[in-house]
């Protein structure tokens, strides 16, 4: 029978709705496949959720949804090169449900059914998962993996397999693989959660798994597959026309370390300190004048059972890969020559000490998934499970004695003679392998001559706030017992609401908001001001350059971020209770300092933005997303995509002035603080740093929520079906079907909750049709967008509900029609009783879990203030919202859902909708031929939509980093 390992139960007083993680871990993996089986391990994983001896026709999925465990989020599986993991996240407050969930895992171990019908249903889903991975990122990842493991079987056994095998493999081949490798001797069950009695759980595992017998009598021998080392580096210049940008990857393979003794643990700490210190340097280099890269990071990861890789990745400007590579290699060479400074090691030690202290404080509130991972590593690699208390004590004991020399020693693992693979990715071929080799020779010569200069340290101020502000006074105080919150109005006009919780001992979070945002700007100002957050962020919104502030915050768990939205500007923070003063100091600095643009920082931002725009234009989805916004939200400048020509219109001075004014007047802000707050210690800090923010002599950006300008968008009144064709290396197809939503002001509170239930129902039912019945998609999502409405307390709310999925381009229109048919059927006949019960249970579980989370309460209190029901009394606003939820839950029946579908969506749904379909570009001849056929169809045009959020223009460089290919069902 399977070995069972029980994690320590979590014992939090604030968890009335317990849950647990139940993974079944198997040593079966894709590396065991023969040539004709490539992809079968992953197919078996899919089939497990489809049908077993006891369950059929996706009854497992239906059962888990009926107990509030959503498909995907709470029930999933993973196939990698070395292992397969099935995982269920289930509630444990009913022993019968836990028993049934364990029985499901037991079915996976030896009772998966492999019939022709089952295989054909899942084949389409697996093919769609395969197609989804053949984008730019997937191609680059696969190419790097093959190069890394050249000469080993791992290079030939990507977990997704071969398209040919997925399309043609027989049930007999799949069944033979399953019967050969799925043996209980090579499996482990882990149960981690809030169990009242762990012995009972162990007995349940014994009962269900004790009845199972492996199909093969003797446990199969699982061979070890070696990865040959190489002293000469391997090079690759990968050209990817759809790449998000130019990138450099340096990977060096080393044997996997053991983790059995305290010495091993000490080594792992020193290694972690090395990567942390190196990443600190990389960040500072990226913020210098004319940096060699925009971002760079270092890490170590176990890629396959015998091999760990040291990996450096960077993103850089076009034609900048050679310079980026030289800078990366030069930095590790500098460390080999000079090492890290004592100051650098002190900073890293403080960072790691802060992290372990935070984990220790929250040891009784640890997520089940963290304990699960420890147990899985014990099964897979025999790592000891020592518990967080011992590990924290060990780490705090060892860290002070790890020297800079000990940390610097790990730079040798980035030596280019140690099984090194160097790869660059460019949208167009610029650099050559010869260029890369020249860089290696140059860096080696400088290192051999010891002519690389030491690292140049920056001066770091000791205090964030140089002159402490005069504390403010409390003018008004209100207590809301139903919310568990207290509200203060301070003398500078800022409103503070705080709620004390005990969910996480080391967390306080906060958000401050003020009405008035980018929607108030005219077209001439919009481009510049929407860049204000980006430009100011690079300069330093807290009065210090980001590279300096990083060192100032070392060892402190405090961070604050800002956002400029369409109707609001906000700041948000997350900190340890012991570092609340630091976090509030950052907020004080945000309000009391003005950002002044400097040429070098502005240049970096504009370069990054330009690269981001170029990357977007290469992405096949850009034209699709642009058309969606234009179609559903109008061709306003607010929704228009930013082009390279627009950057010339940006005035950095205007951008920074606007950003500074957004956070200038404290009297316009309401701040909500939630977490482990000690009022006696925290309130004096709030009064000093929030109440001490100076109020300007005149109001700055002081807007009434009811008088803000609305965004100019209107959903099309007729049916629109369009195809957007985009150049692609490999065929991709995405579909979005969208319907307008209008919620009447008179019944807003109830309708909002109905919309939430409808979206979950539609997601479940369309998934059942398109994946479980027809087997043609991998996943589907239904999203609701109501973000375009101004926060006025009057008028109806407009938005849309959209259905999103990817599929085979050839059947996209057919699948749209099937989705429409299902929605139409629900409008005409309503859902089944079991469908309503499932979505009620999912919503209830999500609600119960949320009640134990700080972020849930932060969001709820913010929504209380921003609700249309808010007129100065937070409790009244809460009561109206809670009453709305309770009323809708009581009313929720098949009939009420049917009526809501008719009321909230167009009825019938086929009379008003948009569909936008992203399709591969075809030749003009084929386009003409297809248009002739298409014209005779009953459809004018096909379509798909990717919902665009109204708000500030946000441009960011994707930080693409290689990771092990793993497939989730």
pLDDT tens, residue by residue, 407-445: 999 999 999 998 999 999 999 999 999 999 999 999 999
Task: Give Cα 617 distance to the centre of its chain.
Answer: 23
Pick the CATH number of 234-449 from 3.40.50.20, 3.40.50.720, 3.20.20.140, 3.30.830.10: 3.30.830.10
pLDDT value at position 511?
Answer: 98
- 424, β-bridge pairs: 237, 248
pLDDT value at position 938?
Answer: 32
CATH code at 19-210: 3.30.830.10
Give the model confidence (pLDDT) of 82-109 as tens digits. Answer: 999 998 888 777 777 888 889 999 999 9
Q: Backbone phi, then psi, for 731, in 5-degree steps? A: -65, 125
pLDDT value at position 671?
Answer: 98
Architecture of domain 474-690: 2-Layer Sandwich (3.30)
Which residues are catalytically annotated?
A: 45, 122
pLDDT value at position 910?
Answer: 95
pLDDT value at position 438?
Answer: 97
| DSSP state letters, 743-808 | E-GGGHHHHHHHHHHHHHHHHHHHHIIIIIIT---S-EEEEEE-TTS---SSS-EEEEEEEEEE--
Same fold? 19-210, 474-690: yes
Tokens linked to 126: 């697996």
pLDDT value at position 933?
Answer: 38
Quick check: helix, strand or coil at residue 698?
Answer: coil
Sheet with 568-575, strands from edge to edge, namely 474-480, 485-490, 495-500, 670-675, 508-515, 568-575, 558-564
pLDDT value at position 812?
Answer: 96
Name the fold adopted by 720-920.
Cytochrome Bc1 Complex; Chain A, domain 1 (3.30.830)
Give pTM, 2 decimals.
0.88
Question: What is the DSSP code (8-state) at residue 190?
Answer: E
C-alpha to C-alpha distance for 804 and 944, rounded to whole angstroms = 8
C-alpha to C-alpha distance for 180 and 174, rounded to whole angstroms = 10
C-alpha to C-alpha distance for 161 and 38, rounded to whole angstroms = 5
Q: Backbone phi, then psi, for 507, in 5-degree steps? A: -140, 130
Residue entry with tokens 């162990």: 202
pLDDT value at position 213?
Answer: 87
Burial class (CB in 10 A: 0-12, 13-18, 19+), 179: middle
- Beta-strand pair 508-515/474-480: unpaired
pLDDT value at position 71?
Answer: 67
CB-CB contact of 967 with 160 (8 Å): yes
pLDDT value at position 485?
Answer: 98
Q: Label residues 703-718 b or e (16+ Cβ within 10 Å = b).
A: bebeebbbbebebeee
pLDDT value at position 598?
Answer: 85
C-alpha to C-alpha distance for 286 and 277, rounded to whole angstroms = 15
Residue ranges for the chain with pLDDT beneath 70: 1-19, 70-75, 923-969
Sheet with 420-426, strands from edge to edge, namely 234-239, 420-426, 246-255, 307-316, 295-304
Quick check: helix, strand or coil at residue 508?
Answer: strand
Domain positions in the chain are: 19-210, 234-449, 474-690, 720-920, 941-968
CB-CB contact of 959 with 315 (8 Å): yes
pLDDT value at position 950?
Answer: 29
C-alpha to C-alpha distance for 33 and 124, rounded to whole angstroms = 21
């Amino acid at each position: 029978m399977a070995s069972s390992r029980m994690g320590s139960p979590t014992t939090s007083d604030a968890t009335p709705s317990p849950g647990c993680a139940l993974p079944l871990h198997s040593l079966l993996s894709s590396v065991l496949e023969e040539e004709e089986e490539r992809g079968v391990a992953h197919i078996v994983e899919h089939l497990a959720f489809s049908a077993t001896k006891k369950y059929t026709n996706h009854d497992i999925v239906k059962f888990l949804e009926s107990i509030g465990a959503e498909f995907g989020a709470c029930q999933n599986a993973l196939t990698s090169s070395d292992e397969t993991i099935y995982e269920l996240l289930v509630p444990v407050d009913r022993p019968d449900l836990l028993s049934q969930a364990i029985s499901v895992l037991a079915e996976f171990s030896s009772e998966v059914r492999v019939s022709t019908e089952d295989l054909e249903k899942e084949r389409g889903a697996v093919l769609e998962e395969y197609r989804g991975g053949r984008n730019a990122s997937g191609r680059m990842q696969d190419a790097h993996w093959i190069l890394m493991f050249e000469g080993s079987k791992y290079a030939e056994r990507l977990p997704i397999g071969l398209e040919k095998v997925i399309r043609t493999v027989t049930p007999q081949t799949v069944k033979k693989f399953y019967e050969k490798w799925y043996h209980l001797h090579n499996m482990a069950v882990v149960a981690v959660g809030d169990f009242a009695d762990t012995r009972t759980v162990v007995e349940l595992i014994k009962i269900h798994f004790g009845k199972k017998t492996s199909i093969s009598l003797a446990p199969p021998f699982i061979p070890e597959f070696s990865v040959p080392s190489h002293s000469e580096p391997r090079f690759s210049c990968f050209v990817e026309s759809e790449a998000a940008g130019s990138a450099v990857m340096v990977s060096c393979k080393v044997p996997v370390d053991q983790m059995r003794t305290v010495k091993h643990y000490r080594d792992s700490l020193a290694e972690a300190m090395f990567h942390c210190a190196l990443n600190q340097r990389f960040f500072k280099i990226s913020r210098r004048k004319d940096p060699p890269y925009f971002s760079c990071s270092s890490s170590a990861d176990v890629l396959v059972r015998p091999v760990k890789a040291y990996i450096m990745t960077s993103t850089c400007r076009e034609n900048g890969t050679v310079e980026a590579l030289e800078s990366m290699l030069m930095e590790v060479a500098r460390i080999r020559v000079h090492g890290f400074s004592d100051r650098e090691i002190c900073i890293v030690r403080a960072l790691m000490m802060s992290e372990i202290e935070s984990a220790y404080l929250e040891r009784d509130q640890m997520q089940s998934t963290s304990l699960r991972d420890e147990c899985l590593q014990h099964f897979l690699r025999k790592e000891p499970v020592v518990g967080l208390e011992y590990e924290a004590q060990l780490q705090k004991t060892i860290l002070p004695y790890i020297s800079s020399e000990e940390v610097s020693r790990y730079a040798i693992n980035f030596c280019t003679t140690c099984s090194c693979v160097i790869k660059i990715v460019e949208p167009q071929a610029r650099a050559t392998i010869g260029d890369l080799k020249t860089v290696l020779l140059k860096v080696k010569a400088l290192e051999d001559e010891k002519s690389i200069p030491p690292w140049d340290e920056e001066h770091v101020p000791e205090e964030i706030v140089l002159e402490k502000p005069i504390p403010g006074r409390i003018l008004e105080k209100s207590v809301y017992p139903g919310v568990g919150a207290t509200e203060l109005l301070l003398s500078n006009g800022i409103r503070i609401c705080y709620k004390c919780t005990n969910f996480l001992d080391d967390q306080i979070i906060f958000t401050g908001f003020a009405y008035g945002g980018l929607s108030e700007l005219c077209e001439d100002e919009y481009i510049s001001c929407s860049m204000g957050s980006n430009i100011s962020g690079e300069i330093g919104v807290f009065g210090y350059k980001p590279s300096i502030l990083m060192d100032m915050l070392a060892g402190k768990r405090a961070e604050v971020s800002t956002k400029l939205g369409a109707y609001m500007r906000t700041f948000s923070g997350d900190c340890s209770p012991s570092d609340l003063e630091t976090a509030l100091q950052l907020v004080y600095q945000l309000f009391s300092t003005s950002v002044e643009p400097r040429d070098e920082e502005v240049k970096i931002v504009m370069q990054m933005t330009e690269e981001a725009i170029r990357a977007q234009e290469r992405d096949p989805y850009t034209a699709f997303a642009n058309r969606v916004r234009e179609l559903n939200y109008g061709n306003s400048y607010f929704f228009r995509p930013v082009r390279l020509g627009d950057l010339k219109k940006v005035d950095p001075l205007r951008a920074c002035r606007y950003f500074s004014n957004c956070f200038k007047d404290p009297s316009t802000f309401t701040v909500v603080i939630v977490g482990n707050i000690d009022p006696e210690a925290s309130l004096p800090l709030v009064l000093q740093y929030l109440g001490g923010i100076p109020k300007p002599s005149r109001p700055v950006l002081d807007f009434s929520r009811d008088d803000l300008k609305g965004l100019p968008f209107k959903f099309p009144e007729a049916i629109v079906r369009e195809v957007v064709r985009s150049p692609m290396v490999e065929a991709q197809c995405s579909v979005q079907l969208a319907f307008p939503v209008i919620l009447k002001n008179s019944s807003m509170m109830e309708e909002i909750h109905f919309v939430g239930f409808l979206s979950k129902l539609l997601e479940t039912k369309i998934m059942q049709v398109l994946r479980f019945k027809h087997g043609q998609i991998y996943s589907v999502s239904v999203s609701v967008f109501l973000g375009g409405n101004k926060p006025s307390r009057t008028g109806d709310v407009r938005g849309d509900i959209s259905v999103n999925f990817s599929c085979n381009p050839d059947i996209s229109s057919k699948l749209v029609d099937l989705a429409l048919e299902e929605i139409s059927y629900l409008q005409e006949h309503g859902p089944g009783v079991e469908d309503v019960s499932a979505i009620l249970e999912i919503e209830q579980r999500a609600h119960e879990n949320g009640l134990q989370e700080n972020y849930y309460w932060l969001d709820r209190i913010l929504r209380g203030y921003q609700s249309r029901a808010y007129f100065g009394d937070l409790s009244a606003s809460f009561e109206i919202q809670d009453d709305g939820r309770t009323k809708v839950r009581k009313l929720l029946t098949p009939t009420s859902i049917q009526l809501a579908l008719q009321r909230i969506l167009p009825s019938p749904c086929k009379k008003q909708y948009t569909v936008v379909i992203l399709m591969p570009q075809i030749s003009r001849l084929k386009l003409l031929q297809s248009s002739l056929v298409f014209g005779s169809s009953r459809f004018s045009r096909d379509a798909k939509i990717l919902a665009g959020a109204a708000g500030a223009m946000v441009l960011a460089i994707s930080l693409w980093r290689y990771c092990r290919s793993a497939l989730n069902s």
